[in-house]
Structure 1
């Protein structure tokens, strides 16, 4: 008799907990789709058409979170270094900071997709670009 009461109590507790959890999930407000940007301006962004906001919007659209990083819930910032040449082309990509699980390689892939305006003769520069990975 005691075991039947215990089982019924546990079943009631589980059903009650599940209903409460579902209500809490349903009440959550939708998450804003705000693009992550660093707090300080990135100097190379002035050579990107549309500026820093347009550059990070492009990065956000192109970002494919690596499967291993998603599975292991890896989050963090990757920093990619590259040279912006006088004609607007880029070269010499390096991963300076890597969050791991494929995020550094993905950040480098995205940095290679960026197209900049030509800064002009004698203005080639080495830049660092932070790219955040957040779940």
Structure 2
């Protein structure tokens, strides 16, 4: 009986230590807040509205009824310029390229430092 209890206690300790050692990935999708929005005129609501207003749904994606979220990663430079754009996640059918095009249109205020950000672009029919 003592052996069974000590084994259970040891297993519980290992599981608890593993839970504290796990670091949840930091993504925009989980938090719902866009850190880069603080550098955009009008904040997050304005940023998301601009993205949705600028999207031209790709014909192939529309025909195949593709929906979902594309994530574009980029570096925001000290002067507010966007560099090193890349598609981190795409739905397919040309949605990644369209999301890349729309993010390139964004104009940010100069933060005074360089940092990497990611922005989700939603495609919904």
- What is the TM-score of this pair, normalised by structure 1? 0.69
The two structures, once aligned, show a CA RMSD in angstroms of 1.4
Choose from 55, 58, 63 the match for 1:66. Answer: 58
Which structure has the larger Rg over C-alpha atoms? Answer: 1
- What is the TM-score of this pair, normalised by structure 2? 0.75
Choose from 106, 119, 122 the match for 1:129. Answer: 119
Offset at residue 105 of structure 1 (A): 0.2
Where 1:119 maps in the other structure, the secondary structure is coil
Where structure 1 has 5 or more consecutive residues not aligned to the other structure, the ranges are 1-37
Map of 1:40 onto structure 2: 32
What is the aligned residue count?
97
More RCO (CA 8 Å, sep 6+): 2
Q: Which runs of 4+ in 1 moved over 4 A?
A: none
Where structure 2 has 5 or more consecutive residues not aligned to the other structure, the ranges are 1-28
